Structure 1
């Protein structure tokens, strides 16, 4: 015969105890969820900082060492140096600024293969042959961008002397930037200090020719850049 040991002094959980236990459990879950949002935000910020750092390094490497920037003749001989090309593009002889685009794109060699593209806006040569044609960004790659397209606007830096006679740049900012005021032949310095402002922009997607490469300094003066840094090139 099977005997069951009954313990009349042992009781089950009451409804109030169950409700209290569930309440403590859900409060703990809500607290964890509350901590999760700042953690995810921190991860996003770290990724953004890493991406901006990569853009800064790419811009510096491009300006310092790219053989594509000098203007060349049909035989490939340099007719305008890298320094002269950038100066002409940034100075008032151009539009007072030079725009670079930096972005990653799907290069088509495999499903997930991604390459890096960096180059000047095609608008840089609208007012003259300021930069080498090979340094102009391939606008057809915008549609294949694998993430943000970074617009990097180069203008005269605040460290460019303005106390010379005549001054080498405007004494105050117009539309948020300084502008070089002297022609290349009248610029005596052995270096060109540049301010670079980075703006992250959404890629156009599959729509052809829908990304605007024009830089409007008036409109950009109302937009907070994602990052600003100073760089320089030497003669």
Structure 2
């Protein structure tokens, strides 16, 4: 006599609560480990970007001082020497800016140019075209701090310690600039003029982006200010 078939018990079973909790724990540990790796990775990316920006600033400054025809109608060497001798230092500003009429067509991508120039004519040593924000629309120069596309960088040029000691005055380690020229260009015998270049990103300069105009920076206060990069360069006669 055939009875009612007994129910079949499946050999497959679901995950237990303990197994689920353990799996979630392993997953969360893995996620946290990956998140922990993001910090150093993002820092590395930022460091690379900063290094690239510094390299760009150095190359731009070197090219400007060595070969720009805007600095002087004659010798760049004489003009730069005179600029540094005038106040004991010279100040150069570098920044990128949006071209003034780039917004005429709202569908056109923004046009960004590079501006570089001395802060002033440095006692008459620098030609007007060599001063930052010189306006010459016909030549495509329409730079203005209000149109800055990013940071404004200030580079302070001071005499280097490698200049013969009888041509510089050592003002002491606590002074900035530490070295100043003590003799005139006519008495300077060397075929090179060595300088220390300190690159700053100062809050006073960034305020100019909001329409503050040319900022006033007290050079003495920069003795305790951290530069983003410092290096030595030279211009030749």
Corresponding residue number in structure 1 for 2:138? none
TM-score, length-normalised on structure 2? 0.83
Larger Rg: 2
Residues 49-97 of structure 1 deviation map (CA, whole Å, 9 limit, x = unaligned): 0111010000000000011111xxxxxxx4x632121111112xx2111
TM-superposition CA deviations, 1:108-162 (whole Å, max 9, x none): 435421111110002x43xx21211110000761111111111111000111111
- Summarize deviations over 1:168-198 as a string: whole Å, max 9, x none: 1123442253211111222111110011011
1:95-114 equivalent positions in 2, closer than 5 A: 95-108=87-100, 109=102, 110-114=108-112
1:147-226 → structure 2 map (5 Å cutoff):
147-162=150-165, 167-171=166-170, 172-173=172-173, 174-175=175-176, 177-201=178-202, 203-204=206-207, 207-212=210-215, 214-226=216-228
Rounded to whole Å, the distance in 2 between the matches of 1:206 and 1:119 is 16
Count how many residue pairs are aligned between Structure 1 and Structure 2: 214
- Per the alignment, do residues 6 and 98 of structure 1 end up closer, same or farther by CA in structure 2, a change over 3 Å counting? farther
Structure 2 portions without partners, runs of 5+: 1-6, 103-107, 135-142
Distance 1:176 1:97 in 2: 7
8 Å Cα contact 2:208/2:214 also seen in 1: no
The TM-score, its normalising length taken from structure 1, stands at: 0.83
Q: Give distance in 1, aligned partners of 2:44 and 2:214.
A: 30
Q: Secondary structure at the match of 1:60?
A: helix
Go from structure 1 to structure 2 and tell me whether the alpha carbon gap of 1:121 and 1:22 turns closer, same or farther (over 3 Å shift). same
**Helix, strand or coil for the counterpart of 1:116?**
strand
SS at match of 1:228: strand
Of Structure 1 and Structure 2, which has the larger fraction of its residues in helix?
Answer: 2
1:85 equivalent in alignment to 2:87: no
Q: Is contact 2:95–2:148 with CA below 8 Å preserved after alignment? A: yes
Shift of 1:210: 4.3
Q: Map 1:57-68 to 2 at 5 A.
A: 57-68=59-70
Map of 2:117 onto structure 1: 119
- Kindly report the root-mean-square deviation, in angstroms, between the aligned alpha carbons of the 2 structures: 2.2
| Partner-residue secondary structure (3-state), 2:150 | coil
Cα 1:7–1:148 shift into 2, 3 Å: farther
CA distance in 2, matches of 1:205, 1:86: 25
How far apart, CA to CA, are the structure 2 residues paired with 1:6 and 1:231?
Answer: 89
Secondary structure of 2:149 counterpart: coil
Structure 1 residue ranges, 4+ long, deviating more than 6 angstroms after superposition: none
